[in-house]
Structure 1
Amino acid sequence: MKISKLAVDIGHNVQFDGGAVGIRSENELNYEVGTKLIEKCRAAGLTVINCTPSSATSLYDSLNQRVQAANSNNSDFFISIHHNLCTGGHGSEILCIPGGRAEGIAKIILPEISKLGFTNRGVKAGNDLFVLKNTNMSAILIECAFCDSPVDMNNYNPETMAEAIFKGICKAFEINASEHCSPSEQTNYYTVVKGDTLSSIAKSYGTTISKLVQRNNIKDANLIVIGQKVRVN
């Protein structure tokens, strides 16, 4: 089950779509784990589409932008990073549409997270979740831990969480990082979706506006259009 292009959605983190707040902020945790996971996957040679919107006009717009970013870039698989909240709850779980490829992948990734000491709450049905039912590719939503749980938040480490998810990805998709060239040796393109700016694209791919302008012969840095393909390295 090898892939070359992975869509990663850092949950919430945009106006009209804020995360839960417990001992830690879900927005903050999602961002820390998600950005570290993206870095690790790109270093392993995967093309990663960061599906997190830079702005949104409504909750629907936020969710739809994430789906469209994955779909328009023909991603092979979709992962959304979240943290749970429920008084008294603790542990990790993964939601998916049951019975398909996503469920199998989830059952490989979740045990890697549990090795960190988090209770394995199982792979659960997420048929009603917008990002799972509207992506063209198989998709999972990872609830890494409970942001209001002292059990989970005590010594919580975003780096080790991202590493555990990454290990699961490598196992699930037969990725050997040593066999892949670095992202800098590949030519990757991003397809512009609603709400994108060169600034947001540059931030997502760890580059600068000036480099994007130069690589793509862009005459006006303030003018990009939906569907436009932007070379990001």
Structure 2
Amino acid sequence: MSKINTIAIDIGHNVSFDGGAVGLRTEDSLNLEVGRQLIDKLRATGLKVIECLPQSANSLVDSLSKRVQAANDGHADFFVSIHHNYFEGAHGTEILCITGGRAEEVTKIILPEITNLGFTNRGVKDRRELYVLKNTNMSAILIECAFCDSPIDMNNYSPEKMAEAIFRGICKAFEINGPVNNTSSDQTNYYTVVKGDTLYSIAKRYGTTVQRLVEVNDICDANVIRVGERMVVR
């Protein structure tokens, strides 16, 4: 498959008039965590990355059109939209695209990387009616990473591992040279604080300590962290 120079990453929902699902965890927060970490990883390879999340929107159509416009105006070579599913009793990962072309080829490389984390493979699905898939000038996919209302999927869910799996798949699909298998114990990861987080919960999720988080982020008061704050976790 031909290499790319520019990729568009769309972080689903996260604006007014475009709210995500609410389950055991909110789709908005999961999309944001996975999307931002994926963007960081891709930029670290030298690839140009266009973040398509708009700062505001006055309607659902406005939100979707701004995402597409960002990708089209930036002349992206490929488009990836990050989402999480919601449906009672369902679990697993699926990727949506317009089948029969480059997009489907890429999904078949990315999907096994995600399911190797232990998620059920729900397959590649043709959803050519979706706005962001049919209106982008480049091939596009929408990844439904997992079900945010599923105890099976959300038990020990790791946004970092999900972002790494998607990153690994993209690198394989487009022959991108990058730290695909960086297993260093001192690897630097990033986390965006969401409502309800504490340093203790973040430390537990990433296998570190509150004291370590305080030290590497120069935190003055361990009891005070702000929603939206971007932290180093290692």
Q: State the one-letter code of the partner of 2:118.
A: G
Deviation at 1:155, TM superposition (A): 0.4
Instruction: Describe the SS at the equivalent of 1:177.
Output: coil
Residues 96-135 of structure 1, C-alpha deviation per residue, up to 9 Å, x if partnerless? Answer: 0010100000000000000000001000011110000000
Q: 5+ unaligned residues in a row in structure 1: which ranges? A: 179-233
- 2 CA distance for matches of 1:127 and 1:4? 25
- 2 CA distance for matches of 1:176 and 1:42? 11
Structure 2 residue aligned with 1:104: 105
Deviation at 1:26, TM superposition (A): 0.1
Structure 2 residue aligned with 1:62: 63
Structure 2 residue aligned with 1:44: 45
- 1 CA distance for matches of 2:127 and 2:78? 16
Residues 179-223 of structure 1, C-alpha deviation per residue, up to 9 Å, x if partnerless? Answer: xxxxxxxxxxxxxxxxxxxxxxxxxxxxxxxxxxxxxxxxxxxxx
Pairing of 1:18-29 with structure 2 (within 5 A): 18-29=19-30
Deviation at 1:45, TM superposition (A): 1.0
- 2 CA distance for matches of 1:64 and 1:176? 32
Structure 2 residue aligned with 1:115: 116
Q: State the one-letter code of the partner of 1:17.
A: D
Structure 2 residue aligned with 1:73: 74
Residues 51-85 of structure 1, C-alpha deviation per residue, up to 9 Å, x if partnerless? Answer: 00000010000000000000001000000000000
List 4+ stretches of structure 1 deviating above 3 A. none
Pairing of 1:217-228 with structure 2 (within 5 A): none
The answer to whether the aligner puts 1:149 opposite 2:150 as a matched pair is yes
Structure 2 residue aligned with 1:204: none
Deviation at 1:8, TM superposition (A): 0.2
Deviation at 1:177, TM superposition (A): 1.8
- 2 CA distance for matches of 1:32 and 1:170? 20
Q: State the one-letter code of the partner of 2:86.
A: L
Q: Output the TM-score relative to the length of structure 1.
A: 0.76
Residues 19-76 of structure 1, C-alpha deviation per residue, up to 9 Å, x if partnerless? Answer: 0000000000000000000000000111000000000010000000000000001000
Instruction: Describe the SS at the equivalent of 2:80.
Output: strand
Over the matched positions of the two proteins, sequence identity in percent amounts to 71
Structure 2 residue aligned with 1:8: 9
Deviates more, 1:169-178 or 1:120-129: 169-178
Q: State the one-letter code of the partner of 1:96.
A: C
Deviation at 1:145, TM superposition (A): 0.1
Q: 5+ unaligned residues in a row in structure 2: which ranges? A: 180-234
CA-atom RMSD in angstroms: 0.6
Q: State the one-letter code of the partner of 1:77.
A: F
The answer to whether the aligner puts 1:31 opposite 2:22 as a matched pair is no
Q: Output the TM-score relative to the length of structure 2.
A: 0.75
- 1 CA distance for matches of 2:27 and 2:178? 30
- 1 CA distance for matches of 2:178 and 2:125? 30
Instruction: Describe the SS at the equivalent of 1:155.
Output: coil
